[in-house]
Chain A
């Protein structure tokens, strides 16, 4: 599909011809056998369909000019005999590296910063993961017409405002790559958050996000953050069977049954991270993956290298300053050097006002006070956290803790 978009500039036509090519493959390959280069076969069949359609629909002169070069290429690539044709007969559209270049162009175009974020996410799922509009709508819990409109708007803006269909030039590549990675991570988190909707849909989102991250790191071998993101996703994903209890409540890392973690995914994640770090260009995703690796390396909470985690968070705060990162660092410091040290950082955070109203700040503070045996103060902090509503599961957890420090719930 990516190659067709490049040639015709028509997303809808490209989608339809790509679908027809797949249908043709499903009809022919069981009896004819899978061709040596299936990607090239599909691209050629789809291209021929596009030529036919354009000719029949008598599009404007502009498109016919683009069609002519398509006809002139690869005459030996006959779609009635998929085993014919050697490498030299194939044009650059059909060989595998050409296909990869087009997929890269497609990802960057779908994730262009001038598109609204929700449009970027939807278009990435549609164009790159091949999800139907209905599937994407279900995944994001919006009605199908809403999602259809979102996609139409995004495609309309690409055409109307002339967003270029290309991999960005070198001077824009760093920030644009960051944008693509952010969209993929958002996709993953939508699937992983388990915040609502039927589980099956959410699992599919995680799988698609991982698939796309894998494809991207293959397409951009010199970009360690792409591999870093993949590693991070795999680390998170490896916990999935241990994360929720029978009631659907989240089990914290320290309480998870680590025998349920997916070791194959952890192994792949470690390999990807190691490869990324060899580039010696650490960035936010590699750092977060390294932190996740510290957890997966450990047999349990006590065995975890909290000092290393605290140090990694400090480095992360340097490249990705955010109050949430600071909060996570405080937690790690508390584990490495004791609750008092962590509490000091928490209090500084509270002073700064950056996290006012952020319930995890109060929940964390409460937890540290509890561990220091300062029960009354802990109870107050738990009440503050409870006042800022979270999920039912969180509510239950905090209420339990409040009872443990001997604080009755104040009536509201």
Chain B
């Protein structure tokens, strides 16, 4: 079953101390999950200041600078997982280094 995993960093928890070696630990996670065949694809995203929100209202395209989510947790990346069941997806997400300084949303693909 495929799941989309949103990686969200909580900026109150993500202090310099808590996020040192984050790059290395993330790559280690990627290597492990690629190796297990549970990670299909994924990527970090650029800074939220590079985000643009697109809406169409009243027939017009309305743009806004920044992300749509007005929370202190912002999407920093995503991964597509292929797991046997939700317990495996939970285990994979739980091992991601951001789990301790943020949240990971795991949602199944719709079956069409």
Contacts and interface: CB of A to CB of B under 8 A. Distances in A.
Interface of A: 112, 114, 160-164, 168, 172
The listed residue with most B CB atoms (<10 A of its CB), out of A161, A163, A164, A172, is A161
Looking at chain A's contact residues, the main secondary structure is loop
Nearest to A159: B108
Interface in B79-112: 84-87, 90, 107-108
The listed residue with most A CB atoms (<10 A of its CB), out of B1, B86, B107, is B86
A360 to B, nearest CB: 32
Contacts, number: 21
Interface of B: 1, 3, 84-87, 90, 107-108
5 A-B pairs closest in CB distance:
A164-B85, A162-B85, A162-B1, A161-B86, A163-B86
B87 A168 contact: yes
The listed residue with most B CB atoms (<10 A of its CB), out of A112, A162, A163, is A162
B85 A163 contact: yes
B40 to A, nearest CB: 16
B16 to A, nearest CB: 29
Contact of A164 (B3, B87, B107, B108): B87
20 contacts: A112-B86, A114-B86, A114-B90, A160-B108, A161-B3, A161-B86, A161-B107, A161-B108, A162-B1, A162-B85, A162-B86, A162-B108, A163-B85, A163-B86, A163-B87, A164-B84, A164-B85, A164-B86, A164-B87, A168-B87
A283 B63 CA distance: 56
Looking at chain B's contact residues, the main secondary structure is mixed
A160 B85 CA distance: 10
A112 to B, nearest CB: 8
Nearest to B106: A161
Contacts of B87: 163-164, 168, 172
A168 B84 CA distance: 14
Contacts of A161: 3, 86, 107-108
A161 B1 CA distance: 8
Contacts of A164: 84-87
The listed residue with most A CB atoms (<10 A of its CB), out of B1, B87, B90, is B87
Contacts of A160: 108
Contacts of B90: 114
A111 to B, nearest CB: 13
Nearest to A114: B86
A150 to B, nearest CB: 19
Contacts of A162: 1, 85-86, 108
Contacts of B86: 112, 114, 161-164
A114 B88 CA distance: 12
Nearest to A163: B86
A114 B3 CA distance: 15
Nearest to B91: A172
Given A114-B86, A164-B84, A164-B87, 18 more contacts: A112-B86, A114-B90, A160-B108, A161-B3, A161-B86, A161-B107, A161-B108, A162-B1, A162-B85, A162-B86, A162-B108, A163-B85, A163-B86, A163-B87, A164-B85, A164-B86, A168-B87, A172-B87
Nearest to A160: B108
Contacts of B1: 162
Nearest to B85: A164
A112 B86 CA distance: 10
Contacts of A112: 86
Contacts of A172: 87
A112 B85 CA distance: 13
A168 to B, nearest CB: 7
A65 B78 CA distance: 36
Contacts of B84: 164
B42 to A, nearest CB: 19
Contacts of B3: 161
